[in-house]
Amino acid sequence: MPANAMGISVTVLAIIFLIPVYAARARNSHSVSDDMYHMSVYTTCEAFWLEMDCRKNKLTIILMRNVFK
């Protein structure tokens, strides 16, 4: 779960990005398994992007705490 406003905004932007991708994929789908296969690619990329952003921000916070002790 996002802990601050920046994390919430990044999460909302990721969800907003995925909505049209899912809608376009569902419009051109042939089966449910086909949808799941193609949507998993975009969802995993977004999840890795969010995880990278969270880890970068956590590392920045830890470094700033050590600098200003």
The domain limits of the chain are 5-67
Q: In the prediction, which pLDDT does 59 show? A: 60
> Position of tokens 């296969």?
37
Q: For position 23, what pLDDT does the model report?
A: 86
**Residue 12 or 69, more confident:** 12
- CA 35 – CA 39 distance, rounded (Å): 6
Given a cut of 70, whether residue 9 has pLDDT beyond it is yes
Instruction: State which amino acid sits at residue 25.
Output: R
This prediction has a pTM of: 0.59
